[in-house]
């Protein structure tokens, strides 16, 4: 009985944070108010920056872990003077990067 109770507590301690995190993520997804964003994007008296931010939030899919929007979007930022362009795939990478963030190829400096 004592061993079974310890195993039950151990399983709870291991799985509870994951379940709570997943519940939080689902709750935040459901709280996103697309009707409010649509109303902000369409109103004439809304400042332009707020209206455009609302329109962009509606167009974007879920945020990826690297913060670049949906995974199927191919609108990578244009390379700037302080970034490296991969010679293999053409992706823009941060300054000082040794390997490409998309193809993991070594960057030529």
Q: What is the largest CA-CA distance in the chain?
A: 68
Please write down the HEC assignment for all residues of 75-93. Answer: CCCCCCCCEEECCCCCCEE
Pairing type for strands 92-94 and 83-85 reads antiparallel
Look up the pTM and report it.
0.34
Domain layout of the chain by residue ranges: 79-109
Please give the pLDDT value at position 38: 74
pLDDT of 42 above 80: no
Cα gap 39→58, rounded to integer Å:
11
Residue 19's pLDDT is: 94
Q: What is the pLDDT of residue 31?
A: 77
State pLDDT tens for residues 67-85: 455 544 455 555 454 567 8
CA dist., res. 54 & res. 59, Å (int): 9
**In Å, what is the CA distance from 36 to each residue of 18, 56, 58?**
30, 13, 10
The pLDDT score that the predictor gives to residue 109 is 63
């Amino acid at each position: 009985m004592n061993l079974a109770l310890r195993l039950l507590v151990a399983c709870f301690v291991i799985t509870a944070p994951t379940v709570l995190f997943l519940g939080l993520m689902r709750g935040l997804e459901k709280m996103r108010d697309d009707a409010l964003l649509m109303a902000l994007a369409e109103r004439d008296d809304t400042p332009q920056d707020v209206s455009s931010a609302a329109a962009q939030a509606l167009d974007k899919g879920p945020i990826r872990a690297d913060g670049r929007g949906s995974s199927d979007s191919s609108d990578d930022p244009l390379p700037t003077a302080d970034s490296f362009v991969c010679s293999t795939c053409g992706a823009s990478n941060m300054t000082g990067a040794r390997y490409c963030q998309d193809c993991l190829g070594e960057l030529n400096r």
